[in-house]
Structure 1
Amino acid sequence: MSFAAIAQTDGALRPVVITGSAEDQQRWNAPASIDVVDGEELRAGQLQVNLSEGLGSVPGLSIRNRQNYAQDLQISIRGFGARSTFGVRGVRLFVDGIPASAPDGQGQAANFPIGAAARVEVLRGPYSALYGSSAGGVISLYTADGGKPEWRAGLAAGNDGVWRASTQASGKVGEWHYLADGSAFGTEGLRPQSAARRGTLHAKLSRADDDGRIVLLANRHESKTDDPLGLSRAEFDADPYQTTPGATRFNTRKNVEQSQVGLAWERRLGGGHRIELMGYGGQRELVQYQAIVPGAQNPPGSGGGVISLDRGYGGLNARWRFDTEFARGRLTTTAGLSSDRQSEARRGNENFLGASGNPTAVGVMGRLRRDETNRATTLDPYAQAEWSRSDLTVSAGVRRSQVRLRSTDSFIAAGNPDDSGSLRYSGVTPVAGLRWQLAPEVQAYASAGRGLETPTLNEVAYRPSGATGLNTALQPSRSRSVEAGLRGRHGSAAWSAAAFDIQTRDEIVVLTNSGGRSTFTNAGRTSRRGLEFSLEGTWKQLHVVSALTLIDAVYRDGFKTCEASPCTTPSVVVGAGNRMPGIARQQAYARLDWEPGPLGAVFSVELRHSGAVPVNDRNSDAAAAWTTAGVAARFKQDVGPWQWREFIRVDNVTDRRHAGAVIVNEAGGRYFETAPGRNWLAGVELVRSF
């Protein structure tokens, strides 16, 4: 892992350039907190299904596996995104420069092709704002280019019926490099009603010469997943591996199909000028069955208990870049325009047949209760300038984000009038950074900026009063962020330390819960302050990786909210000074690898720790702190042009029972998502080089 990152030439077009002073664009010189995990490290001895497997060594990043593939990972960076009850909010996701986050800020990491990854970059701090609204942090995966003729295939299996099969081919035909990666995954699930099946295909075709580069991308993702829901405190204490009866009664589940293509093109124009273009488009279809009781679907404005989405999406990013020598340093200026859009047909049906008081069947698609077309678009101009030499970097940038949300209602009936409407949000997010060299192997850096987080379409879908139509009172949250850090390299060791302070106003929080839906409001001011440390080094046959995050995230202003459902009038007081839910005060990771030499063996011991995590705004309960240990062994043998790779690992060796994630502010009080006890995983991979 490397401790700072900037743009590189081996990935597809990035949404925003963070440039570097040296010709090789060394990550070392970035005036920001960016960590990079190499693709081989990400995959080594892992299932290769979830980003949470290999990113524990990144400070400031909380990435938790819910053990619920219907709701994706729980991801937050320096506290941004922690409020999300499903998917990813407040953090921007990219694969080869193509957004995995929708224009409204909602994203998913399920389609990240880990088997094809060359590296994953995690950007934290003020510079995240250059990626647009709802970018409290950025996670970018870049796939390998291919070129070296190689074929590999792998199998892995473990507890709870877990299995993964994958294959990959890469090479070169003429001037074109190609990479094709496919994987399939399945599990019976840790708890009843948590089985999942997933398949992903990723293809990349690229060509580069002295004057430019072109990259073609295609991706296909399919999944069928059950949803075990969360557990109440009483259920979790009685048996953390059970499933709440409502999940099995309503057969809660989600099916997803997604296809997308992308094109990135760049060309040198001479005189230090360069033009870069990126375009992408895709289609996503989703059907989800929820555990909403039939009686709660009686009100005329109810959206039912089955969600169907058919979303088309796409975007363009064009920019100009100019590099020149200036004042004994390197000056790079960038200006561009980014636009993204999504248009989704959303339908809601009842999840039962017959009368709501005495249904003849539940967990099925019943009468239509919602039919609308929702659109979200962004239009963001941006610019950045950076001057750098070996001992100093000065950088500044600005982005103007504009987000438009529109809903066209096609389901108009008695008691349910036309709910069509539109909203528009905008904001300017400037950033500035400075990096200076204190000694040949020690650098200091500081940056400051402003951020903007707009509500998602789900968050503006309902009004707190219970009336139908968009919640026009909900405003975006705006933040001010500063950070300062040190990093050093000494022989085979590298370390970093950073402090940050984030002050936010109009934080988006839950206001009411009723009829299986939540409404949102702005809570006032919040504060996120913390420290991050990391250390990596190799001494003879030992390799050490470690990270520590300390964060104090609190509401500075009090407000009123609802907890239980139904609740249409907020009456629960959240006091000033309460901790923000979903955020642990401390998080730590450490791994020791020993490589004795014979059989290409690597033996590892891994420790993970999380502090207690509040489950709601009132802080009435919390998931307890936990520490787990894991052990693993990897082997490698070369037989002519073939290479065999094997691994086996055991996680949570002490069989610690704990909640690995929480569903923040869950209306039914089912906050807790159980982590696995002692579990094993083994795999083999065959690699053929040509």
Structure 2
Amino acid sequence: KLNFYPTKKLYITQIAAHTDYFQQNPEGLNLEQVAENPRQANPDAIPFNEYQKTNRNKFGMHARYLLNKNHDFEAMGYYYSWRYKETSNKCAEYSDITNPGFTFQYNLHFATGKVNHSFGIGSDLKWQKISMYKLQSAADTLRVDSKDETNIETDSLLANQIIDQQSMGLYAIYNMEFGKFSLIGNIRYDDIENRLTDKMMGGDTAGTSKDFYHTSYRIGVSYNFYDELTLFVNWSQGFMPPSTEELASNPVGYSGFNTHLVPATSNSVEVGARGFFGEKIYYEITGFRMNTENDFFRFKQSGRGNQEVFYGNAGNSKRLGIETFISLKILKKLSLQASYTFSDFKYISSSVDPIYTDTSYVLTKPPEAGQYLPNSPKHQLYAEVVYTINKNFKVSIASEYQSKWAIYTDPDAYYNKLDPAVFQNWQQGFTLFHARVGYQWKIWKIKGECSIYVRNFTNAKYMAFTEPDPDGNSYHPGPGREVFGSVKIRFD
């Protein structure tokens, strides 16, 4: 990350990043395996080598130009490119992906009497191209456990396709401040076009398209009574179209789009308060209610491999919650930060496209009204105590807690109507402890920080997350004790 200031009016930030990521055997374990050895491979992987391999480059730049005190411009551009490979016991998928994008925004600031106004209009343009093909996997009966990327693939071509996506967003933002009162509002329009060209077919049957468009709104007000208390209320809408990965995971063929998917939408209201007491205490508490329509859920099909996952719309949900945060300076060198989240997320409707109740199409039933959303624990708590030894050294101890959560969306598995040796809907939560030591230094105009972070230093055994797998291979055990080293250098 580099920051440039060519003039007093121009600010530029440039970012470059590279990621080389390998995740072997990403599928979950079953209950019997978890009890035997949580480090073993998923049973469906043997004798295959299932993994995900990502090699990604990112380049981005953000610039802001201050024309004068009333006018300024912001622009952001980026370009991502990466190669991705995913193998399963059914096929090996190869993808080359490019993803450029650009955003431009104009801001106007002015005052009328005692009222300050800020108005912004902007647009973002994004493109994505995915060249993908799939080869059939073959079993390797002589394979032994290793971390290599060897996978036997036949010359049977299952898919060969190109996905093109382009999206345009137009938005306007308005902010008003009048004394202790403030108001913010914005409107946004999104238009997303997806095209898939099947290179194994010709004529009109070679192309599939799926387009989405939506207008969403947000408005919020706040009033600062005094430093210790500011009240705020926000109402907003959400729009989440299916991703290219979700569209391209077609349950009726190895190529083409899942044409039954529709966007998920939401309406949300939040009410809260925040404030600070001198330099000792800062707090924030927010309550929210979100109603969603056409939530996504995952399902599988027989004959398509155990790692391939497909997506559908699961009806509607109501999500109630409270989020809190407090920062407390106990002593000059001792501070505490803590956050707590309460979540009550339930499906309220199981009215779905009839295709998702067709057992020849899905192996997993859509959820019923009254079920909790999967992977949504009611209680989450994180707290950290930081002690500053001197101007160079800091140490901290942290703890995180997560209560139990539901695993399955299928109502038969959710209500324990299936074999309890394979399906148990509720996963117990966990408590972890972490520690960090940091050292800050300065040599001439060069500043830096070195740190060592130990996560789960008590080496507790816990379940990091679960997935609603129709085979019961739902469990992903968390790692034991982990040690991370970090070095940051800053040139002023």
Q: What's the TM-score, normalizing by structure 2?
A: 0.84
Q: 1:383 to 1:667 in 2, by over 3 A?
A: same
Equivalents in 2 of 1:213, 1:639: separation in Å? 26
Report if aligned partners of 2:364, 2:470 keep a CA contact under 8 Å in 1. no
Report the alpha carbon displacement of residue 552 of structure 1 after superposing the two structures with TM. 0.6
| Structure 1: unaligned runs, 5 residues or longer | 1-202, 293-304, 355-361
Post-superposition CA distance 1:43-78 (Å, at most 9, x none): xxxxxxxxxxxxxxxxxxxxxxxxxxxxxxxxxxxx
State yes or no: 1:666 paired with 2:476: no
Are the aligned partners of 2:85 and 2:94 in contact in 1 as well (CA < 8 Å)? yes
Q: 2:371 matched to which residue of 1?
A: 578
Classify 1:249/1:206 alpha carbon distance in 2 versus 1 (closer, same or farther; 3 Å).
Answer: farther
> What residue number does 1:242 align with?
40
Is 1:544 aligned to 2:336, yes or no?
yes
Q: Which moved more, 1:402-411 or 1:646-655?
A: 646-655
Please tell me whether the aligned partners of residues 637 and 645 of structure 1 are also in contact (alpha carbons under 8 angstroms). Answer: yes
**How many aligned residue pairs are there?**
463
Structure 1 distance, partners of 2:113, 2:211, is 43
Q: Conserved in 2, the CA contact under 8 Å of 1:249 and 1:363?
A: no
Among candidates 331, 343, 348, match of residue 556 of structure 1? 348
Contact (CA 8 Å) 1:510, 1:562: kept in 2 or not? no
Letter matched to residue 80 of structure 2: G
The amino acid of 1:628's aligned partner reads L
Match of 1:397 among 186, 189, 197: 186
Judged with a 3 Å threshold, the aligned counterparts in structure 2 of structure 1 residues 573 and 650 are, in CA distance, closer, same or farther, namely: closer
What are the equivalent positions in structure 2 for 1:150-165 lying under 5 Å apart? none
C-alpha deviation, 1:233, in angstroms: 1.7
What's the CA shift for 1:401?
0.9
Pairwise mapping of residues 250-261 of structure 1 onto structure 2 (< 5 A)?
250-261=48-59
Query: Paired residue for 1:622, among 414, 417, 426?
Result: 426
Distance 1:353 1:290, change over 3 A: closer
Q: Deviations over 1:514-565 (max 9, x none)?
A: 31334333222111110011111212231101000000111101368999xx
Partner of 1:195: none
Residue matched to 2:146: none
Aligned to 1:519: 310
In structure 1, what is the equivalent of residue 129 of structure 2?
A: 343
Percentage of matched positions with identical amino acids: 18
**Is residue 533 from structure 1 mapped to residue 324 from structure 2 by the alignment?**
yes
Which residue of 280, 284, 290 maps to 1:496? 284
Q: Measured at CA, do residues 647 and 505 of structure 1 come closer, stay the same or move farther in structure 2, by a change above 3 Å? A: closer
Looking at structure 2, the residues matched to 440 and 532 of structure 1 have their Cα atoms a distance apart, in angstroms, of 20
Question: Match of 2:264?
Answer: 477
Is this contact kept in 1: 2:89–2:139, CA < 8 A?
Answer: no
The yes-or-no answer on 1:277 pairing with 2:81 is no
Alignment correspondent of 2:420: none
- 2: CA distance, partners of 1:689 / 1:459: 42
Is residue 89 of structure 2 the alignment partner of residue 291 of structure 1?
A: yes
Partner of 1:605: 397
- Amino acid paired to 2:101: G
* Local SS of the residue matching 2:32: helix
Q: Distance in 2 between matches of 1:682 and 1:379?
A: 40
Does residue 96 of structure 2 align to residue 310 of structure 1?
A: yes
Can you list the C-alpha shifts for 1:149-168, whole angstroms capped at 9, x where unaligned? Answer: xxxxxxxxxxxxxxxxxxxx
Q: How many angstroms apart in 1 are the aligned matches of 2:364 and 2:470?
A: 14
- CA–CA distance in structure 1, aligned partners of residues 485 and 14 of structure 2: 31
Alpha carbons 1:339, 1:379 under 8 Å: kept: yes
1:688–1:307 Cα change, 3 Å: closer
Distance 1:628 1:261, change over 3 A: closer
- Bigger shift: 506-515 or 397-406? 506-515
Which structure's relative contact order is higher, taking Cα pairs within 8 Å and 6+ residues apart? 1
Q: Give matches, 1:17-36, under 5 Å.
A: none
**Residue 670 of structure 1, CA deviation:** 1.7
Summarize the Cα distance change of 1:595–1:337 in structure 2 as closer, same or farther, 3 Å threshold: closer
Residue aligned with 1:458, SS: helix
Higher alpha-carbon deviation: 224-233 or 424-433 = 224-233
Distance 2:341 2:375 in 1: 15
The answer to whether the Cα contact below 8 Å between 1:419 and 1:470 also exists between their aligned partners in 2 is no
In the TM superposition, residue 600 of structure 1 has moved relative to its aligned partner by 4.2
CA distance 1:330–1:228, shift in 2 (3 Å): same
Distance 1:682 1:520 in 2: 35
1:274, 1:222 → 2: CA distance? 38
Tell whether the 8 Å contact from 2:395 to 2:436 is kept in structure 1 after alignment: yes
Instruction: Answer yes or no: is the 8 Å Cα contact 1:479–1:504 preserved in 2.
Output: yes
Question: What displacement does 1:212 show?
Answer: 2.5
- Aligned residue for 1:513, secondary structure, equals coil
What 5-or-longer segments of structure 2 have no aligned partner?
Answer: 141-149, 415-423
Q: Is the 8 A contact 2:327 2:337 kept in 1?
A: yes
CA gap 1:214/1:665 in 2 versus in 1, 3 angstroms: same
> For the Cα contact (< 8 Å) 1:637–1:644, is it kept in 2?
yes
User: 1: CA distance between counterparts of 2:134 and 2:43?
Assistant: 23
Q: CA deviation at 1:409?
A: 0.4
Maintained 8 Å contact 1:644/1:684:
no
* 3-state SS in 2 of match to 1:350: strand
CA pair 592-556 structure 1, distance change in 2 beyond 3 A:
same
